[in-house]
Amino acid sequence: MRDIISRDGTISADTWVVVPRPADGDALSIPDQPALIPADLWLAGKEHFEGRDGIGVWFDSHDEPEILDGLVNELKLIAVNFPKFSDGRGYSIARLLRERFGYQNELRAIGDVLLDQLQFMKRCGFDSYALREDKDATKAARSLSFFSQGYQAATDTDMPLFRRRAS
Amino acid sequence: MYVYDEHDRQIAAERVTQFRDQTERALAGELSEEEFLPLRLQNGLYVQRLAPMLRICVPYGMLRSDQLRRLARITRDYDKGYAHFTTRQNVQLNWPALEDVPDILSELAEVEMHANQTSGNCIRNTTTDQFSGVQVDEVVDPRPYCEIIRQWSTFHPEFAFLPRKFKVAVNASENTDRAAIQVHDIGLQMVRNDQGELGYRVHVGGGLGRTPMVGPVIREFLPELDLLTYLEAVLRVYNRYGRRDNKFKARIKILVKALTPEGFAEKVESEWAHIKDSPTRLTREAIERIQGYFTEPAYEAMDNASERLASQRFENRRFDQWLSHNVDSHKKPGYAIVTLTMKKTGTPPGDVSDTQLEQIAELAEAFSFGEVRVTHQQNVVLADVRQDQLFELWQQIEPMGFATANLNTLTDVICCPGGDYCALANAKSIPVAESIQRRFDDMDFLYDLGDIDLNISGCMNACGHHHVGNIGVLGVDKKGAEFYQVSLGGSSHHDATIGKILGPSFAQDDMPEVIAKIIDVYVNNRKDEEPFLETYRRIGIEPFKERVYA
Ligand code: HEM
Ligand code: SF4
């Protein structure tokens, strides 16, 4: 089972399964445990999931988070997939979910998540990280804490350094 | 010049610790080669043909004497005693050992330097005009805006893994563009609108490389305080929609072209509408605070030293030539801008030894308030020299090799490292530059030819800006042999143009003769004082073709 790292570097076990997008024509099969399903499929069958616990959604890096505008807080967990660690689209998706659509609940990075991305993910509003299995989760706390401040405003702070300097 | 405060110092120190940790994990095998790649690139570390190469950031080209001395010491202690000034105003070391890099970075951090974001798919060093703040015709000093962009782009959490590298350049001169802004991913031209308000004309999607393009204007006027929110909107659109499936189609220019400039601008505007008034919007105080670092040095009230210079010129012809070519006028009476040329025939353009770095440091202290600027033509500028000290300065720099009076002439070549150092090269570029410099060693003839940009790249990555040279030379591979393709008519200035290919490529030995023929056609066709580019634009490429391939 994968380790889930939280913002402060603590480690817990992953209880969620990521349900892959079914091939064309196939039905979505949801296991009997907390499950993340593709966001557009959740939207399409929303009534069906109503009242059911343990359903979250995931976005792939080329997906448009705009489809959930106005609905995000109906979800307890949203995940964003990094198909490759060098694919940076997920950072923009996270900021949009948080800063534009006002998502309040847990936002998780999944996929090719490595130690050196954690600091950026944290600043863009992710609060849990499904570290790739071959990486050493005990080093995550250190990777998350190299920087004590940043220059920009992002999800973690709306005070860019130039405003903090002035106050 | 900008000076770090406790925040900048803390961030810089934390970065050194972080990179040390990353290097240790890489050396311990905890990071694969592929995983370490973007991390080391974001720290300016390439692995090259002969050794790793470390690109050190020189924000918008500004260096102090203590920094030059530290660079000299680093080249001695960790490298082979020389460094290279690049076309993006940075400094490059060609032979450091990977395990030494963390130590080099700590030495740099002590003098407020670093190698952050000098390569990799992130926002790179912002470049500008080397005459900023001292020239007569600028709208405003662009350097504070470059510093604001530097801070905003440093470790920006959303934009550390862009589809491809991203370069921003700023220009504030009305009549010239020494920063080549229209061949950058974003080019900002500082302007005043009809109401006299300061702002930027925004070009997006310029670039060289495989698909050279002049960046179209996507916004005619962006108000001064909206700089960062607008940049953030452009970058977000690029980060989300730029192509990631093909490295050669991943630059923002391809996206701008695919959406059309109007379509791209619309997307940016609608993104911007959401974030325009966010806390990232600049404040007047924030700008003034940074401007406070770029105040005028303690100039003395003086008159122009015209008479004295006139008699010195009269007595010494070489001084006269140097003054005409390598010295520019300054906004303050009694001062002048001096360009130290790093283009002595026989030395690769932009190369400097440790001793030379120290000499430059001393010259800066003695003659120019302890600061220099690196230019994108790979030269070094002393921006604030007293006119009555020009002769003395010239006497000192002649033996050092910095007074080759060829600034902006045919032999002031922009040249990439090419096949001598670079693993990606198709052909060598430095020997071609040298053979052309040797062929045109008659200074009077060179002066008579006037300003000509000759730019050489060893492959289509275009590090030597060959597309925008009035004469461009590109190394190509022809069945395993090194050949050179010539293009004509390029420009990197306000009239930015991509050069046109002349025809089939040439062998290395033929290059000086080919250039000589091109020059010949120009000399035979020019009207009065017409510069090369104008003659070319008037007569077209045909006469050149006929002559060269006759
Ligand atoms: C020796 C190691 C070097 C390597 C491996 C290298 C590699 C590259 C590559 C691959 C590109 C094209 C990127 C693209 O189109 O997306 C590029 C562009 C560029 N390089 Fe280099 N380079 C090296 C050295 C230099 C040096 C020493 C300079 C300065 C003299 C330089 C200046 C540039 C510039 C200005 C561009 C931008 C062209 C554009 O706008 O597309 N490079 N380099
Ligand atoms: S243009 Fe090509 S050969 Fe020259 S430095 Fe760039 S990548 Fe190397």
Q: Does B537 touch chain A (CB under 8 A)?
A: no
Asked which of B293, B320, B347 is the last residue of a domain, the reply is B293
> Within this chain, do residues B284 and B155 fall inside the same structural domain, yes or no?
yes
Residue B403 falls inside a structural domain: no
Q: Choose the residue to mutate in B124, B253, B416 for probing ligand 1, maximizing ligand atoms within 8 Å of C-beta.
A: B416
Could you tell me which of B28, B208, B60, B228 has the C-alpha nearest to residue B133?
Answer: B60
Atom of ligand 1 nearest to the CA of B94: 1
A-chain residues within 8 Å CB-CB of B18? Answer: 146-147
The CATH number of whichever domain residue A80 belongs to comes to 3.40.50
The CATH number of whichever domain residue B258 belongs to comes to 3.30.413.10
> Within this chain, do residues B176 and B222 fall inside the same structural domain, yes or no?
yes
- Atom 15, ligand 1: residue with shortest CA distance: B209
* B405 CA distance to ligand 2 middle (Å): 27
Residue B247 falls inside a structural domain: yes
Query: B424: which DSSP letter?
Result: T
- Residue B220: which H helix or E strand, with range? strand B217-223
Runs of H (alpha helix) within B337-460 = 354-367, 390-397, 430-439, 443-449
pLDDT digit string, tens, across residues A38-72: 999 999 988 888 878 899 999 999 999 999 999 99
What whole-number percentage of chain B has pLDDT above 90?
78
Q: Is the CB of B74 under 6 A from ligand 2?
A: no
* B379 CA distance to ligand 2 middle (Å): 19
Residue B224 falls inside a structural domain: yes
Query: What does the pLDDT read at residue B51?
Result: 67
Could you tell me which of B351, B409, B355 has the C-alpha nearest to residue B380?
Answer: B351
Of B110-119, B264-273, B348-357, B457-466, which has the strongest mean pLDDT? B264-273
> Within this chain, do residues B99 and B145 fall inside the same structural domain, yes or no?
no
Interface contacts A/B by beta carbons within 8 Å: 109
Contact B357, B72 (CB under 8 A): yes
> Within this chain, do residues B92 and B144 fall inside the same structural domain, yes or no?
no
Q: Is the CB of B163 under 6 A from ligand 1?
A: no
- Atom 25, ligand 1: residue with shortest CA distance: B463
Q: Is the CB of B498 under 6 A from ligand 1?
A: no
Å from B103 to nearest chain A CA?
A: 18
The CATH number of whichever domain residue B392 belongs to comes to 3.90.480.20
Query: What does the pLDDT read at residue B312?
Result: 93
> Within this chain, do residues B336 and B266 fall inside the same structural domain, yes or no?
no
B280 and A152 within 8 Å at the Cβ level: the answer is yes
Q: Kindly tell me if the per-residue pLDDT of A1 is higher than 80.
A: no
A147 and B11 within 8 Å at the Cβ level: the answer is yes
Residue B117 falls inside a structural domain: no
B279 and A153 within 8 Å at the Cβ level: the answer is yes
Among the partner-chain residues B18, B152, B283, the one whose CB lies closest to the CB of A152 is: B152
Could you tell me which of B176, B174, B172, B242 has the C-alpha nearest to residue B204?
Answer: B242
Residue of A nearest to B274 (CA): A100
Query: What does the pLDDT read at residue B48?
Result: 62
Q: Kindly tell me if the per-residue pLDDT of B540 is higher than 60.
A: yes
Asked which of B69, B95, B110 is the last residue of a domain, the reply is B110
- Residue B198: which H helix or E strand, with range? strand B198-204
Q: Choose the residue to mutate in B461, B467, B474, B492 for probing ligand 1, maximizing ligand atoms within 8 Å of C-beta.
A: B461
Q: Which of residues 128-157 of A touch B (CB under 8 A)?
A: 136, 142, 146-154
Average pLDDT, rounded, for chain B:
93
Both tokens of B526, joined, read 């020019």
Asked which of B264, B293, B322 is the last residue of a domain, the reply is B293
Q: Kindly tell me if the per-residue pLDDT of A145 is higher than 70.
A: yes
Q: Does A91 touch chain B (CB under 8 A)?
A: yes
> Within this chain, do residues B144 and B227 fall inside the same structural domain, yes or no?
yes
Cα(B198)–Cα(B190) distance, integer angstroms: 7
> Within this chain, do residues B271 and B314 fall inside the same structural domain, yes or no?
no
Q: Is the CB of B416 under 6 A from ligand 2?
A: yes
pLDDT digit string, tens, across residues B75-98: 999 988 989 888 778 888 888 888
Q: Kindly tell me if the per-residue pLDDT of B244 is higher than 60.
A: yes
Give the position of tokens 């005459």.
B131
A-chain residues within 8 Å CB-CB of B228? Answer: 160
Q: Kindly tell me if the per-residue pLDDT of B49 is higher than 80.
A: no
> Within this chain, do residues B231 and B101 fall inside the same structural domain, yes or no?
no
Contact B430, B417 (CB under 8 A): yes
Q: What is the number of residues in chain B?
A: 550
B239 and A151 within 8 Å at the Cβ level: the answer is no
Residue B299 falls inside a structural domain: no
> Within this chain, do residues B456 and B365 fall inside the same structural domain, yes or no?
no
Q: Does B151 touch chain A (CB under 8 A)?
A: yes
Residue of A nearest to B37 (CA): A86
A-chain residues within 8 Å CB-CB of B117? Answer: none
Evaluate whether ipTM surpasses 0.85.
Answer: yes
Phi, psi of B493, rounded to the nearest 5 degrees: -95, -160
Could you tell me the maximum CA-CA distance found in chain A, to the nearest angstrom?
A: 58
Number of domains in chain B: 4
Query: B472: which DSSP letter?
Result: E
Cα(B225)–Cα(B279) distance, integer angstroms: 11
> Within this chain, do residues B257 and B281 fall inside the same structural domain, yes or no?
yes
> Within this chain, do residues B328 and B211 fall inside the same structural domain, yes or no?
no
Number of domains in chain A: 1
User: What range does the domain containing B192 cover?
Assistant: 135-293
Cα(B124)–Cα(B143) distance, integer angstroms: 16
pLDDT digit string, tens, across residues A31-43: 889 999 999 999 9
Residue B300 falls inside a structural domain: no
A-chain residues within 8 Å CB-CB of B293? Answer: none
* B442 CA distance to ligand 2 middle (Å): 30
Residue B487 falls inside a structural domain: yes
* A114 CA distance to ligand 1 middle (Å): 28
- Number of Cβ atoms within 10 Å of the Cβ of A76: 13
User: What range does the domain containing A88 cover?
Assistant: 3-166
pLDDT digit string, tens, across residues B404-457: 888 889 998 999 889 988 889 999 999 999 999 999 999 889 999 999 999 999
> Within this chain, do residues B532 and B426 fall inside the same structural domain, yes or no?
yes
Measured between its terminal Cα atoms, the distance across chain B in Å is 54
B14 and A166 within 8 Å at the Cβ level: the answer is no
Q: Which of residues 58-87 of A touch B (CB under 8 A)?
A: 85-87
Beta-bridge partners for B484: B475, B506
